[in-house]
Amino acid sequence: MRLDKFLKVSRLIKRRTVAKGVAAAGRVEVNGRPAKPGTDVEVGDEITIDYGTRRLRVRVLGVPATARAEEATSLYEVLEETASPEGPEV
């Protein structure tokens, strides 16, 4: 499954066009490498998303074509979630 579609189906990012833009901007990594929107995502892959104010690292547990909102969180496991510091240090 494409990365942008997985991010939308899993509801890690609300809209596919937003997911596509985030990946194209270089703010998403799959298995430690920068990923484009069309990168294939498979079970077991680790995805790191930089939201700007926080960074989220998840492991893919499933890649169905569609999922209901209640099932979305079962598609991934949160490995790490860190908050970015507010502004630059002086």
- Rounded Cα distance between 20 and 25, Å, is 9
Q: Residues 17-73: pLDDT tens digits?
A: 999 999 999 999 999 999 999 999 999 999 999 988 899 999 999 999 889 999 999
Confidence of residue 84 (pLDDT cuts 50, 70, 90): low
Say whether pLDDT at 8 is over 50: yes
How is residue 40 annotated by DSSP? B
Give domain 3-83's CATH superfamily: RNA-binding S4 domain (3.10.290.10)
Whole-prediction pTM: 0.87
* β-bridge mates for residue 55, sequence order: 50, 82
